[in-house]
Amino acid sequence: MTRGFKSIETKHYAERDAFFAGLGRVSRRSFLKLAGLSAGIALGKGLVTPHSFQLVEVADAAERFTFAYISDTHLYPRTLNDRFVRAILKAVDDVNNLQPQPDFVLMGGDLAQLGRKEELDLGRQILKAVKAPIRMMVGEHDWFLDLGQYWKSLFGAESYSFDHKGVHFVTVMSVQEKDFWTERGFTPEQRMQTVAGLDNGIQSRFEVGEAGREWLKNDLAKVDKKTPVVVFSHSPLYKYYRPWNFWTEDADEVQAILRPFEHVTVIHGHTHQLLTNRIDNIHFHGMLSTAWPWPYAPEGLPKLTIQQNRADPFDQFDGCGDGSVDVVESGLVNALYNLWDRNPVTVRASYVASSGAQEAPPRTKLPSY
Amino acid sequence: MTPKTTLTFIALPALALGGLVLAQSRTGLPRHDAPPSPSGNLSVALCDGETVAEVPGVKEGETPTPEQARAVADTLMTEWRRKNPNAAWEGEPVRVAQALPREGGEKGAPAAAERPKEGGGGAGGLPAGPQGAVQEGQTYGAFSQRDERIWQAETEKFVKEGHDVFHDAKAFGGTIAVSCDMCHPDAANTHPETFPKFQVQLGRVALLRDMINWCIQNPARGKPLADDDPRLKAMEAYILAQRKGTALEFGKH
C-alpha cells in the first residue's frame, strides 16, 4: 500500500463528513460549495431524487416558494392507450411526494391528445389525486376539437391571473390559430388531427391573438412594474422553429407588453424538452412532457439552452419527466427539470440572468441530435 | 358517435387509399417469361423479351452445364445481332467533353461547362444541339428532362406513401394510436445515415428497418412488418428522403 493513498470509499466518507460538519456553519457562499458537494455525494450514492436537491434551494431564500408542474400528458382514452396514463400517474406520484409540498401544481397543457371528452375526463380524474392545488393551462391538443368548449366547462377560463406571495401570475392562452379549417371543409376531428401533427404544415401558427394581447395588457395595467411577473403559456412566446410550431407568431408584440416589468419569467409547455432562453428582461423555461420527449429542432435553438442527451427509445420514461420551479427572492426562478431515469437538472436564475456566465448546468455528453 | 367510431371513420378511407397505392407500386415490374418449348427442352429468353433459344438435351426444371449455358447465351446474342444489324453501343469514337482543351480544340464545340443548359438537355440528358461535346451512343443516359420529371414524381410519390404510413398508427398496425411522427416530426432523430450500427440495446447490428420494426412493436405496440412489406419500404424511403445531403456515417452512435 502506498502511503497517502486514499480509496474511493475513504474519499467518499471524508467528503460526506466534511459536508455534514459544514452544515452547522453555513455562510451563503460556503453553502453553494456545500450544495455542489452534496449533489456529488448524492450522485455517488445513486441517491438522486428531486428531494435531495431541495436542500440546495434553501440558500438564497428569504421569501421564496415552490410550485411544481406536470405537462403535456397527451392522454388517450384509458382503454386505447395505457402508456401515457402510466406516465401521468408517475408524475402525480412525484409531485405528491415532494417535501415540502409545492404551493400549487401547474398543469402545462395538452392534458388530452385529441381533445375528446373521454380524454379530458380521464385527465381531470387523475389530477384529482394531486394533493396540492392545481392550476390549469390549455394546450392545442385540448382545444381544437371543439375550440375549447369542453375544456372550459371543466376547468374555467383559458386565460386568468392571480397573485401569490408577491408574484403576479398570468396564464395566457397562446395556442390560437387562424382559421385554416373552414375553407378546407374540415370536420372538427380533421381540424384536431391536423393541429395534433407537429410537422403538419397545413395548420396555422400559434398566436396569442389580438383579443388575447388586449386582455394581457389590461391585466398587467394594474400591476406595479417592480412586481415579479410569471407567465404561464403553452406555446413558447418566442420564435424557435416555425415548421414545428415551436413558435408564437405574435411573440414580438407579447414580449413588448412584458418588457416594462423588471422581472418576467415565462414557463411554457409544448416543446417537450429542456429549453432555456432569455430575451432582454424575460426568462423562458420549457417544461418536460410526461408522454414523450421531442428532438431539438434543426435550427433556431436558443443559445442558453443546455441540451438534454438524446433519449433512449428503449426506455419509455427517458427524456420525459416533470419538474418544480423555485421562485427566488428577486422574483426570478430556478427551474428544476426532474428528468425520469436520469439525473435532474436545475437551470438557475443566476445562469439565465448572467447570460450563461454563471452556474451553468452540466452539459450533455452525447450528441442530442 | 363515440370517439372510437369517429376515429375509425377518419382512418378507414385513408387506409384504403394507402393500400391501393401501395398495391400498385408493388406490381408491374417487367418480366420476360420464355414460352414453354413443345419439345419440353429448357428455353431461355433474352432480355429484349422476344428472342428465345432452347437448350438441347436439358429439360425444363433441370440445370444446364456451364458449357451448355455459354452455348445458349452465344446463340441468343448471335440471333440478336442478326435482328439488329445496325445496333452498336458506340456509334463513333468517343469524344470526352472534359478532355477537350479550352482553346485550340474543335472550333464551335464549346466545352461542356460552357454549354447552355436550356432546351432539351437536362442534367445528364442529351444535349439540345445537334453535336454536343459529350459521350454519345449509350442507351443508358439517353433521357430527357421529361423522363427526369417522371422519375422524380414517381420517387416523390413513394416517399409520400411512406410519409402517410409514418403519420398513421393504423396504417402500420399500431394498436395504441401512437404514430411515428409523434416522437419523430419530419422523421427527426431517426438518423438513418448511421445504420447499420451495433444497437447496444438489441445486442446486435441493426439496420434502419430493424429499428422501424422495433418502434412498431414497442412504443406503438404493433406487429413487425415483413422485410418486403411495401409499407416498410415506403417508410424507409420517407426517412431517407428527410436526410438528403447528410453524410453517411455508418456505425456512428
pLDDT in tens, A33-76: 545 555 555 555 444 444 433 333 333 444 589 999 999 999 99
Cβ within 8 Å, pair A294-B185: yes
How far does A199 lie from chain B, in Å, by closest CA?
5
> Are residues A85 and A123 in contact, defined by beta-carbon separation less than 8 angstroms?
no
Q: Which residues of A touch B6 (CB under 8 A)?
A: 189
In DSSP terms, A335 is beta-bridged to A325, A347
The Cα–Cα gap between A141 and A289 comes to 13
Q: Give the pLDDT score at B247.
A: 95
For A22-29, what is the mean pLDDT?
Answer: 52
pLDDT in tens, B26-73: 457 777 777 788 888 998 988 888 889 999 889 988 999 999 999 999
Q: Give the pLDDT score at B10.
A: 43
Amino acid at A361: P
Strand ranges inside chain A, DSSP E: 65-70, 105-107, 134-136, 160-164, 167-172, 229-233, 264-268, 276-279, 282-286, 321-327, 333-339, 345-347
pLDDT in tens, A172-195: 999 999 999 999 999 999 999 999
**Residue B192 φ/ψ, nearest 5 degrees:** -65, -20
For an interface test with B, the pick among A294, A308, A312, A365 (most B C-beta atoms closer than 10 Å) comes out as A294
Cβ within 8 Å, pair B176-A314: no
Chain B residues contacting A, CB < 8 Å? Answer: 3-4, 6-7, 10, 167, 176-178, 181-186, 188-189, 191, 201, 211, 214-215, 218-219, 221, 253
How far does A80 lie from chain B, in Å, by closest CA?
5
ipTM of this complex prediction, to 2 decimal places = 0.81
The Cα–Cα gap between B101 and B103 comes to 5
Cβ within 8 Å, pair A292-B182: yes
Q: Give the pLDDT score at B159.
A: 98
Q: Give the pLDDT score at A35.
A: 53
Q: Give the pLDDT score at B33.
A: 77
Q: Which residues of B touch A83 (CB under 8 A)?
A: 176, 178, 219, 221
How many A/B residue pairs have CB atoms within 8 Å? 64
Pairing relation of β-strands A276-279 and A167-172? unpaired
Which residues touch B37 (CB under 8 Å, ≥6 apart)?
A: B43, B54, B60
Asked if residue A2 has pLDDT above 60, the reply is: no
- Cross-chain CB nearest to B185 (options A81, A187, A199): A199
**Per residue in B106-127, is it b (16+ CB within 10 Å) or e — as a string?**
eeeebeeeebeeeeebbeebbb
- Cross-chain CB nearest to A81 (options B176, B183, B185): B176
pLDDT in tens, A153-177: 999 999 999 999 999 999 999 999 9
Q: Give the pLDDT score at B195.
A: 97
Asked if residue A5 has pLDDT above 90, the reply is: no
Q: Give the pLDDT score at A184.
A: 96
Q: Which residues of B touch A298 (CB under 8 A)?
A: 188
The Cα–Cα gap between B155 and B162 comes to 11
- The chain-wide mean pLDDT, for chain A, equals 88
Asked if residue A358 has pLDDT above 70, the reply is: yes
In DSSP terms, A266 is beta-bridged to A231, A284
pLDDT in tens, A222-232: 999 999 999 99
Asked if residue A150 has pLDDT above 90, the reply is: yes
Q: What is the pLDDT along chain B (253 residues), one digit of tens a residue?
A: 444 444 444 444 444 444 444 444 445 777 777 778 888 899 898 888 888 999 988 998 899 999 999 999 999 999 988 988 877 665 555 555 444 444 443 444 444 434 444 444 444 444 444 455 666 666 676 778 898 999 999 999 999 999 999 999 999 999 999 999 999 999 999 999 999 999 999 999 999 999 999 999 999 999 999 999 999 999 999 999 999 999 999 999 8
How far does A235 lie from chain B, in Å, by closest CA?
17
Cβ within 8 Å, pair A76-B189: no
pLDDT in tens, A282-329: 999 999 999 999 999 999 999 999 999 889 999 999 999 999 999 998
Q: Give, in degrees to the nearest 5, the angle at Cα A289 between B252 and A38.
A: 80
Residues of chain A with pLDDT > 70, as a percent, come to: 83
Chain A residues contacting B, CB < 8 Å? Answer: 76-77, 80-83, 113-114, 116-118, 187, 189-190, 193, 197-199, 243-244, 292-295, 297-298, 310, 312-314, 316, 366, 369
Q: Which helix (H) or strand (E) holds A211?
A: helix A209-221
